[in-house]
Structure 1
Amino acid sequence: MNRKQSQIPRSLVLFLFSFLSITIGSAQTVKVAVDNTEGKQHFPLISKGVCASIYYDDADHKVVELVAGHLADDIELVSSYRPETSLVNNIQSKYPVIIGTLGHNQFIDSLVASGKIDVSAIKGQWESFIITTVKKPAPGIKQALVITGSDRRGTAYGSFTLSESIGVSPWYWWADIIPEKQEEIYIKPKTYLQSSPSVKYRGIFINDEGFGGLNVWACKTYETEIGDIGPKTYARVFELMLRLKANLIWPAMHACTKPFYCYKENPVVADNYAIVVGTSHLEQMHCNTMTEWDEDQTGPWNYFVNRERIQSFWQDRVDLTKGYENFYTLGMRGTEDIEMQGAESVDDMVRITDQSISDQREILKNTIGQKAEEIPQVLCTYKEVLVTYQNGLDVPDDVTLLWADDNHGYTRQLCTPEEQKRSGGSGVYYHLSLLGTPEDYLWLNTISPSLVAYEMTKAYEYGADRIWMFNIGDIKPHEKELTFALQMAYDINRWMPSNAHLFLAEWAEDTFGKELADDITAILENYYRLAESGKPEHCYRLDYSPLELDGRIEAYRSLSGQVAEMKSRVPETLLPAYYQLVEYPVLGCRWINERNLMARRSLQKAAIGDMSALDDAQLAHHCHTQLDSITHYYNAINNDGKWNHIMCWHPWMSDEMPDVASKELVQLGKKAPKSHTVVLEDVICSPQLTFKDGVLKQESMSEQHQAGEYTWQADKEGEVPVWIFATIPTSYVPSYKLTINGGEIKSELKHIGNIWHTQAAAPVWYKLGHAHLNKGSNTMQLSLPDSLLNIGEIHLGWYPPSRQNYKKQMMAEDYVKSKHGQLSTINVVSGLGLGKGVCIMPFTSPSLNVSHVGEAAWVEYDIELSGGQSEIEIRTLPTQRIHDGRTLSYAVSINGEEPVVFDVQADEFTPEWQDNVIRGFTSRKISYSAKDSEPVKLRIYFLDPGLVIRDIVVN
């Protein structure tokens, strides 16, 4: 680091960093002040049964006419009085609401020309607006409420800001949030100025729509006339987007839905609602290759051999779209979210991607008639495209770099200082829903607002302010999380890591009222906290200790009890909204966790002959039926069948009941030899094999077979299943040879989970078959010719062992001492991890190495250890290093000893990364030996920003 910089007074540095972290971005979200009693100079929106009328100019954009109608609907929804809507050249009302865009509304332009309204703050700006009252703006008008946008979306946002201010939620239709009725509505006189948004393009990606409900719902319930997601559905989507102040759509693109441009009305509806259309990471140039490219007719999707036909495809689509407001995705990928077809090396991918981008820009320039650098274009560095970029891809300076998270909410890479200078800027493609590696989460949204705030604030501070694109699957049930994410994108100062946890209280009060807000907030805080240690879609494969398993079941039961108690206090009009937004997510998490964990516990008990296993099995079956029951209720929540087919509790997942204990299994468990686990580091093995950290390492593959041998004693004779805890390759079935007492175990090893783009799956327990054990001595031989198959443990028994109970667990915030660094401060972030995460700010603070550990911020914990060997496990959130050239490191010192450095970076798709994102933490372990019980001081130095301590466990 710069040594001169370190001489700046530390107090001044910390003040400057604190100031900068608070004042990033330009927007400040406006809310119109509304009163229900008449006041001096108040504008009467609804007064004594009379509605103010709404006026717009027919020379204005189509979206202005549409939002004028929506505003009238909103006022009627709140008051039961519907305003008239008419053209501005025929104002009849003494108190008109006038909506218009600068330069497109003659009445507003005359007010500007006469100096009656000042629009200098928004003129020429992006998506900004003013809401103000004007006294006697023209003969016959006593007072006008004027909503003026700098552009067409600015006008729309201003109108919907008024709607939200009088109590209409953006989700009034999509989540049945019925506002409280108001007899009188007055607007307090003031000029409300909304400056440009913090992030220029703020979008949603409708994805995996056929696995959950949106496509099925549109086909069977909402848009039955075409049986698809079409213009009628998109009109509802685009209205919602404008209410949430979003402006960019990546349309649905799976094969179950016809391509967006299949329906000529779709782009027209998007343009009418002023929505910018882009396409996803695998739809270059607005072309849905998954469903629109017919290899039988046009040849392979291979740019090496079929360049002219692919270019013709692109050309036809740009000819069709050139009249609309678009964002064009560049590059070259395979047709089904796979790597480029025909490429045999990364160099091939770089060369062809370079060529395709050059050709695409030429098509855009010649067809649209503008300079290439004036046409919005993006390169989405998703999956292997990031590898291509990292290996020399030359991206034109004006093209936006869209970084991606790792599919699980942790940003993968952000801009270096040099990349931040690019004119095209950068953005982030972020998942709130996923079909992908290592496991899907398409059902319930459990990514907390605090995690979104932490990751996206980090991205913003590294220049990602051009595009924020959120993958939201089926839209429902992501209402809360999407609201938060788009509020952040619109106004980066509104929610930051320091206050993101307060969003839930604000949202609950806005949605359900002040009386219920605190209790709903507490429920949702626990909902996110429990999901941090296992999403509902993932809990079936997570290894919980007995205490954790029991505690998790009880916690969800308690939470569902609170939800039930709350329901009796919810107003009847809001019961459908409460069920969709609070009750169903909690019950869904409860029943899927309890089903899977009860099923597992029943098998664990059966393995030792415990008859209570049958009670657990029966409960697991009950939970399974509850999943069907609550989902059926969700789809029938409105008597008119509005949401029929929208929700499915097993999108992509199997809806089969997991294995549970039976009487026969309990009897087998009683008769079987005592379970035995072999940790392979203890095995006597040949010179070519070493066992280290519980994982088998092949050091030389020169031998045809490499083998280890292990002998142990069994308490009785009998047959038992054989399990292995293994990391296995995903692209083929690995070979191995396992022999017990001369009998060979033969079973194909196929990975568990949804593994794409990976060489090997995360370690889990696999059942291989059965072995006959002798009373007394038994011998096991293992031969492994496959370098991608790593086996850590072998278990002989009716069910594999669960993780041991912790001896002690400390939450990250339980440190006893801390110290700020020279250029960083210790921060405790509520709602991050298991309750509160500990990290450093600002995100832009420099990386340090161990020689500069004295300049690092640190926290210190007091831990009481027993005599003998202890293992201290430090758990951090599975974040990624910020960009090339940085690490994700911390240093650990025990009792003042020399610090030891750990880098916890786990690259996407590796087995370690897969394990981390499923369980919610990255782990590093330290061994410590003590003669007697003694306290130790554990100090953790933060060497890199972006690192978050979650908890510390002692075994």
Structure 2
Amino acid sequence: TYAKIFELLLRLKANTIWPAMHDCTKAFYYYNDNPRIADDYAIVIGTSHAEPMLRNNVFEWDTKKMGEYNYFTNRDSVYKYWETRVKESKNYECIYTLGMRGIHDSKMLGSSSIDETTGMLEKIINDQRIILSANISKNIKEIPQAITLYKEVLDIYNNGLKVPDDVTIIWPDDNYGYIAMLPNNEEQKRTGGSGIYYHASYWGRPHDYLWLSTTHPLLIFEEMKKAYEMKTDKIWILNVGDIKPVEYIMTLFLDMAYNINNFLNEQSVINHLSNFYSDIFGIETGKIVSEVYQKYYSLAYERRPEFMGWSQTEPLTDTRLTAFNNFLYGDEAQKRIDNYDNIEKTIINIAQNITIDKHDAFYQLVYYPIVCASLMNKKFLYFDKAVRYANQNRICAIDLWNKSYQSFNNIKIETEYYNNKMSGGKWKYMMSMNPRNLNVFKEPKIINFDKNQKKWDCIAEGYNNCDSAYNLPIFYAHDTSQYFIDLFLTDSIDISWSALVTETWINVSENIGVLRPVANENQKRLWVKIDHSKIKNDLINKGYIYIKANGKEKKITVTLDNSIKKELNGFNGFIEKNGYISIYASNYNRLINSEKRFWEKFEGLGRTGSIMIAKPNNYETKDKSDTNFAETPVIEYDFYTFSDSVFDIYINCIPFHPVTGRNEAKLAISIDDKIPQIINLRTYGRSEEWKQNVLENRAAKRIPIEGIKKGKHILKIYMIDPGVAIDYILINTGGLKNLYSIIPETKYYN
């Protein structure tokens, strides 16, 4: 029975459940004791969007005996099927799901158009309410009923579906944590009220995330706080998938549902995270775990572990190399490896001091998810490096492939411990390292590698292939950047090397060393920085680094541009560097809000860790002018270009959907006094654009700009619709290369 689940729900202050619906389990009502035990625990039973009238279609509908699950052609059989369950459940507390979809998570059968579906759904809802009225001794308006506008049902609703006023409308997210739509000001007046159906786990396209719990707590807070503000407070349902991986997120969601007023701001969520782990493991350990988890959620927000294969489902595709750049922007892939390695090592160290009575709890709640998320990332990122370095004949490619395979094998070892050794095997079968056996969970492929005759080589940051000479990215006045040079063996021999600089202002992390054909010694990364104290002129300065080894020499040019000092005298803002400008949205120069509308900073979310959201949420823009910019809130950023150019602006936002059906997801952008260009971040259905948005947790738009002269300019971002959230802006003046992560801001302050 569900007795243990019901007890857990009460402990978490929850009072309703949608029982499991997949074919790996029997239907809730198959067990006669389940409804009685639910009543004992005062748990209200409902069913999912695809299971009207408390019926589990996957288990209970027998097509051979009952015919097709089709209301157009088999109404009587379906009607009887629903009526039977109502008679069985009428004496218990229930919420009856209205409407009809396919047997499982699919569209209704029998319709050839959305208009036909809309009309039939209204008839079905009417029939269902007749069944309820005939069998339950209450006024129909007093019988709890709900319809979930999930997937195509939201389109049907927007097509004009009439829902009785006393029926609760449950608004869905898009399966990836972004609420698809909320009630507008008129819909908020309905007597049935509104609810939310939200995912902490998902099976489906573009890719499942069933293994680890990685939905950012601050995303959940932002979306559920918004839902509450929009009077969506009647029913909150969380799709947990499996309970074990999502224990914290489940607790957070239900605590917010019980009293959202305990969560006043972003810090309230961080405090909740810290308190959760401090209550279990003590204040000192809880604080460290909370800090690690904040980094864990931020890393997963950039890309979930289950999405690291760059593969998809429905249709199933093979894994690919990741989009992290290994050769520029400080080596995005290595930065991610290092970030995961740091939190993994922190947790492994803490585990040594956990008392025996708390060890298993620590392993389940902390150690397994954090360590395995790290290992999954290492599996793919080391494999990436192995393939890319093999193309450069680096013998370290074999070592990196071994690290990739070892990461895969360590996930197996940890999962084996979770299921068979931890707590004496109490949680056997509760954790799978390969849900649905998708390609992302498979062991790394074998790579091809050939040595060459060069014996050694080197490559500078910004280059994918080896060459005889290189130019490092340009350094600028007041610049604290550093760039790398990789030295590596291409054959199994010992080689001594040296790095000589021609100018005292060039600093190299190491000047001499030996490469040996053993793991961790067959390549060396040198970091190059500028000592600005040793050069006082306002010129473009050049110097050189000569890498010498085994009778060969490579020349790397280092450029320091101090000439910008005079030009930028008194300028504070963002400047062009190496062909691009990087701006974090919350670091604006000026913010101009209006009396009723405003840009609000939200801390902790996004790639930059701080985003700007258009508020208030209940401002409806339908039928209002998009072009009245004189009184529109605007964010302004000062920036400086060093040449006349045609360039592209890339605005990177959080992939929120329009707040209501009376909104879009628009904003406008202009440079200086040019006419603002309107862009709409809205996506439709499960389009390719939406798929990329949810896989990356980013909605990016490109805006081409022409006729910009060298010098100072102002980027203006105008508010149009509420709910639009800006993370960062990139301006490509000709030098921006492929990247996945954020890059440091190109700030300049006198």
* Alignment TM class, shorter chain as reference: 0.7 to 0.9
Letter matched to residue 301 of structure 2 = E
1:871 and 2:648 are equivalent in the alignment: yes
Shift of 1:825: 2.9
Residue correspondence of structure 1 range 714-793 to structure 2 within 5 A: none
Between the aligned partners of 2:672 and 2:251, the Cα distance in structure 1 is 46
Shift of 1:567: 2.3
Count of aligned residue pairs for this structure pair: 590
Is contact 2:148–2:172 with CA below 8 Å preserved after alignment? yes
| Corresponding position of 1:828 | 601
Instruction: Give the 3 Å change call, closer, same or farther, for CA 810–531 of structure 1 in structure 2.
Output: farther
Shift of 1:941: 1.9
SS of the aligned residue for 1:891 comes to strand
| Corresponding position of 1:217 | none
Letter matched to residue 598 of structure 2 = T
SS of the aligned residue for 2:239 comes to strand
Instruction: Give the 3 Å change call, closer, same or farther, for CA 891–637 of structure 1 in structure 2.
Output: farther
Is contact 2:393–2:450 with CA below 8 Å preserved after alignment? no
Shift of 1:862: 3.5
Is contact 2:146–2:169 with CA below 8 Å preserved after alignment? yes
Shift of 1:306: 0.6
1:838 and 2:612 are equivalent in the alignment: yes
Is contact 2:614–2:719 with CA below 8 Å preserved after alignment? yes
Is contact 1:812–1:952 with CA below 8 Å preserved after alignment? yes
Can you give the 5+ residue segments of structure 2 that lack an aligned partner in the other structure? Answer: 311-321, 457-462, 466-577, 737-750
Shift of 1:405: 0.4
Name which of 128, 136, 148 aligns with 1:368.
136
Is contact 1:330–1:357 with CA below 8 Å preserved after alignment? yes
Between the aligned partners of 1:806 and 1:455, the Cα distance in structure 2 is 37
| Corresponding position of 2:445 | 659
Instruction: Give the 3 Å change call, closer, same or farther, for CA 593–675 of structure 1 in structure 2.
Output: closer
Name which of 881, 888, 891 aligns with 2:668.
891
Residue correspondence of structure 1 range 149-298 to structure 2 within 5 A: 231=1, 234-298=2-66
| Corresponding position of 2:284 | 515
Between the aligned partners of 1:471 and 1:912, the Cα distance in structure 2 is 24
Between the aligned partners of 2:273 and 2:730, the Cα distance in structure 1 is 29
Can you give the 5+ residue segments of structure 1 that lack an aligned partner in the other structure? Answer: 1-230, 677-804
Between the aligned partners of 1:852 and 1:661, the Cα distance in structure 2 is 58
1:615 and 2:399 are equivalent in the alignment: yes
| Corresponding position of 2:67 | 299
Instruction: Give the 3 Å change call, closer, same or farther, for CA 842–289 of structure 1 in structure 2.
Output: same
Name which of 133, 143, 148 aligns with 1:380.
148
Instruction: Give the 3 Å change call, closer, same or farther, for CA 575–438 of structure 1 in structure 2.
Output: same
| Corresponding position of 1:94 | none
Shift of 1:333: 0.9
Name which of 383, 401, 416 aligns with 1:599.
383
Letter matched to residue 632 of structure 2 = A
Instruction: Give the 3 Å change call, closer, same or farther, for CA 481–666 of structure 1 in structure 2.
Output: farther
Residue correspondence of structure 1 range 496-515 to structure 2 within 5 A: 496-499=264-267, 500-515=269-284
Shift of 1:850: 4.0
| Corresponding position of 1:400 | 168
Is contact 1:429–1:470 with CA below 8 Å preserved after alignment? yes
Shift of 1:633: 2.2
| Cα deviation digits, residues 545-573 of structure 1 (max 9, x gap) | 22222211111111111212222343332
Shift of 1:930: 8.2
Name which of 357, 366, 369 aligns with 1:582.
366
Deviates more, 1:657-666 or 1:909-918: 657-666
Deviates more, 1:373-382 or 1:938-947: 938-947
1:882 and 2:656 are equivalent in the alignment: no
| Corresponding position of 2:304 | 535
Is contact 1:610–1:666 with CA below 8 Å preserved after alignment? no
Between the aligned partners of 2:32 and 2:661, the Cα distance in structure 1 is 44
| Cα deviation digits, residues 813-832 of structure 1 (max 9, x gap) | 22232122221233221222
| Corresponding position of 1:680 | none
| Cα deviation digits, residues 92-126 of structure 1 (max 9, x gap) | xxxxxxxxxxxxxxxxxxxxxxxxxxxxxxxxxxx
| Corresponding position of 1:914 | 691
Name which of 185, 204, 211 aligns with 1:443.
211
1:905 and 2:682 are equivalent in the alignment: yes
Shift of 1:928: 4.6
SS of the aligned residue for 1:473 comes to coil
Instruction: Give the 3 Å change call, closer, same or farther, for CA 819–634 of structure 1 in structure 2.
Output: farther
Is contact 1:285–1:328 with CA below 8 Å preserved after alignment? yes
Letter matched to residue 368 of structure 1 = I
Instruction: Give the 3 Å change call, closer, same or farther, for CA 806–328 of structure 1 in structure 2.
Output: farther
Is contact 1:823–1:845 with CA below 8 Å preserved after alignment? no
Shift of 1:660: 4.2
| Corresponding position of 2:628 | 852
Name which of 272, 282, 293 aligns with 1:524.
293
TM-score, normalised with respect to structure 1: 0.59
Letter matched to residue 657 of structure 1 = E
Between the aligned partners of 1:533 and 1:523, the Cα distance in structure 2 is 16
Instruction: Give the 3 Å change call, closer, same or farther, for CA 379–448 of structure 1 in structure 2.
Output: same
Is contact 2:636–2:717 with CA below 8 Å preserved after alignment? yes
Identity %: 36
Shift of 1:637: 5.7
Residue correspondence of structure 1 range 540-689 to structure 2 within 5 A: 540-541=309-310, 542-546=322-326, 547-636=331-420, 638-652=422-436, 653-654=438-439, 655-663=441-449
Shift of 1:358: 0.9
Letter matched to residue 630 of structure 1 = E
Between the aligned partners of 1:884 and 1:407, the Cα distance in structure 2 is 19
Between the aligned partners of 1:912 and 1:660, the Cα distance in structure 2 is 32
Between the aligned partners of 1:639 and 1:576, the Cα distance in structure 2 is 7
Is contact 1:567–1:575 with CA below 8 Å preserved after alignment? yes
Between the aligned partners of 2:708 and 2:722, the Cα distance in structure 1 is 37
RMSD of Structure 2 on Structure 1 (CA) = 2.4
Is contact 2:620–2:662 with CA below 8 Å preserved after alignment? no
Instruction: Give the 3 Å change call, closer, same or farther, for CA 580–806 of structure 1 in structure 2.
Output: farther
1:355 and 2:132 are equivalent in the alignment: no
| Corresponding position of 1:686 | none
Shift of 1:479: 1.2
| Cα deviation digits, residues 14-63 of structure 1 (max 9, x gap) | xxxxxxxxxxxxxxxxxxxxxxxxxxxxxxxxxxxxxxxxxxxxxxxxxx
Between the aligned partners of 1:854 and 1:582, the Cα distance in structure 2 is 51
Shift of 1:614: 2.1
Instruction: Give the 3 Å change call, closer, same or farther, for CA 931–335 of structure 1 in structure 2.
Output: closer
Is contact 1:457–1:492 with CA below 8 Å preserved after alignment? yes
TM-score, normalised with respect to structure 2: 0.75
| Cα deviation digits, residues 887-934 of structure 1 (max 9, x gap) | 111111223433221111112301111111101111112345688874
SS of the aligned residue for 1:639 comes to helix
| Corresponding position of 2:229 | 461
| Corresponding position of 2:565 | none
| Corresponding position of 2:194 | 426
Shift of 1:869: 4.8
Residue correspondence of structure 1 range 63-212 to structure 2 within 5 A: none
| Corresponding position of 1:819 | 592
Deviates more, 1:573-582 or 1:410-419: 573-582
1:312 and 2:80 are equivalent in the alignment: yes
Deviates more, 1:872-881 or 1:650-659: 650-659
Letter matched to residue 256 of structure 1 = C
Shift of 1:666: 9.6
Letter matched to residue 528 of structure 1 = Y
Shift of 1:374: 0.9
